[in-house]
Structures are given as C-alpha cells and as structure tokens.
Amino acid sequence: MNRFEGRVAIVTGAAQGIGRAIAERLAKEGATVAAVDINGKGAEGAAKAMGARAFAVACDIGDEGSVAALHKTVLDKCGKVDVLVNAAAIVPFVKWNDLTFAEWRRVMRVNLDGLYLMCRASSDIMRAGKYGRIVNIASNSIFAGTPNMAHYVASKGGVLTFTRSLATELGGDRITANCIAPGLTDTEGVRNSPHNEAFGFVDMLQAIKGKGTPADIVPAVAFLASEEAHWITGQTLAVDAGMVRW
C-alpha cells in the first residue's frame, strides 16, 4: 500500500519506540517523513534506516523557538505538512510523595506544552492547504489511574481533551485530530524503567494475552493518518489488547 504517496509527515519521538515504528510505517507507505527527536543522533539513525524518504531534525518540542525552526526546515525541504504524529513524551515513574512541582513541570513541558506547540505550528501550515491529519498519542493509563505517575496521567488526560477541542477548531479546514491510547508497550524506555515489571499484571487485565509491541500500535495510527479516515475526528482509540473497554 502507498497510502501516503506525495504526503509529508512529521513524527516526533522518532528516535526509538512507538515513534520510530510509526515513522518507519509512514515512510514505507510512501510518505516523506521528518523524523523528529530531541536525541538528534537517534533521529539521524532512524532516518538513515528509513532511506531517502526520511530526514532527521533535532528538536526540543517544549521550546517554541525549536519548534519554529523545525517547521521552517520542513517547509524549506518539502513545502507543506500533511500529517503530524505526536509521539514524543516523558514517561516517568515517581511516587506521589516524591512528586515535586519541578518534576510536574518537566513532564508537562513536553507532554502538553510540546503537544500544543507542535499542533499550533503544523496546523497553521495545514490550514493553508485545507488538508491535514493529526494523531496524538495519549495512554490507556488515563482510564486506569496508574500509580506512580500522577503527572503523566494528568498530561495524557490533557492530550485526550485537547484533541477533542482541536478537532472542533480545525474541522472547517478539513483537518482531523484524533488520539491513540496505547497500553503498556515493550519499548526501550519501558524496558529500562520500573514499568517493565508491570507486564505480568497488565496481561491479566487484557482480553488478548501477550506483551504489546510498537508494531501493535502502528496500524491504528497509520489508518487515522490516512485519507481513509476523513470522516473520523475528535476520537480516542484504545489500542491495548482490550485492557480498557469503554
């Protein structure tokens, strides 16, 4: 399938994990992909693996100037933005008694401020072309109230509600905005954190047994980022083997 032939996509958090898997899928289906990450070397490695259709951009999405520079680079190279996938996020493990305001702001700066800045800049470009697909990555933790990450859960709840409002704001320009809410996923970040110990418990709650991988998340993102999803906006889809059913 070449659903994204001629399309230009920006994917944040593309150096590893879910973000990288999404970027690879869009490139495989024909998109020109800006692989974006604060880890510039990681983004370069990801882009190189994707071939000529991809290029890397180092960007701190929580910084307005960095986001503006990113979009200038994409416009200079490609002339437009058709798809934005916001996968970059900080996934902390902090007990409530240890949660400081500085730590709260560290997470919000990326997970919510960064989301706003990316959507603001990309949607302004999309509106000129009267076309766009925005897919934001939330988390099924917003339905479960997962412990030891209150600020993360709050930020991802914000992703869901912001996306609903964004769909209303952009619908008149034929731009859709939707959310994917993955469950616990076997990524580099998770494997190197205390969250890695939770897979057994999560498996008990899932309708489909097994450990989720980035490849399990990608198809839903690709669909919502495609022209086929033109009549779907403001929605959140849990992709978590049926752990959350609502």
> What token pair was written down for 53?
């259709």
- Across the chain, the runs of DSSP E, i.e. the strands, are 8-12, 32-37, 54-58, 83-86, 132-137, 175-182, 236-239
**Contact criterion met (CB below 8 Å) for 206 and 242:** yes
Q: Which residue has the tokens 């989301």?
A: 115
117, 152, 155, 183: the catalytic one is 152
HSE-CB at 21 with a 13 A cutoff on CA atoms is 16
**Contact criterion met (CB below 8 Å) for 85 and 27:** no
**Edge-to-edge strands of the sheet including 83-86?**
54-58, 32-37, 8-12, 83-86, 132-137, 175-182, 236-239
Q: What angle do CA 125, 239, 24 make, to 5 degrees?
A: 50
131 a catalytic residue: no
What percentage of the chain's residues is helix, strand, coil (to nearest 5)? 50, 15, 30
Kindly list the catalytic residues: 152
